[in-house]
Amino acid sequence: MYGMIEINGKKYVERVQNFPFTVNVTVGLAVMLNQRLVLPGVANFLLKALSRDTLSAAGAPVVRRFKFKFGNSDGGIYYSAAGVGGVNDRVVDTSIFGTGQFPYYFIPGIFYGMNSNIMFEIEDLSNTVPYLIEGTFHGSYLMPVG
């Protein structure tokens, strides 16, 4: 849903914005820490959904499972976590991205400041490499009103 919203007393008009990312998984069972998608500083971003697909190096669809964790550089906040004292904070891909046919939606959306980064970690579960993870962070730019 897009239109006018209010966050912390400020009004914004939403403009559809998607940020794709590609991760090349080349080491089986590896954990890839400190991955970042740097937001371009145009406007605040409201993340509403995640989607992903896994492809062979040649671009053909393949079934590869991985775990995923994501957060925000604004304060180093992670949004998927096992809790205090958790050993494994990453979540199996279909539990956070949906099935591939249906993206996972956030209600309410997750706010990112215009100069923040979407931080994430990936842990391969397939041990069948190489493959590509093609993902997208779906949401909207928040354009201030007034």
CA-to-CA distance for 56 and 63, rounded, in angstroms? 9
Partners of residue 24 on adjacent β-strands: 132
Q: Which of 9-13, 36-40, 73-77 shows the lowest mean pLDDT across its residues?
A: 73-77
Share of the chain above pLDDT 90, in %: 64
**Residue 20 CB neighbour total at 10 angstroms:** 11
**Nearest CA-CA partner of 37 in 55, 54, 20, 14:** 20
Q: Is the pLDDT of residue 91 over 80?
A: yes
Q: Is the pLDDT of residue 77 over 70?
A: yes
Structural domains of the chain, with CATH = 4-144 (2.60.120)
What confidence tier does 104 reach under pLDDT thresholds 50, 70, 90?
confident
Q: Is the pLDDT of residue 60 over 80?
A: yes
Q: Is the pLDDT of residue 108 over 60?
A: yes
Q: What integer best gives the mean pLDDT of the chain?
A: 89
Q: Which of 24-33, 53-62, 80-89 shows the lowest mean pLDDT across its residues?
A: 80-89
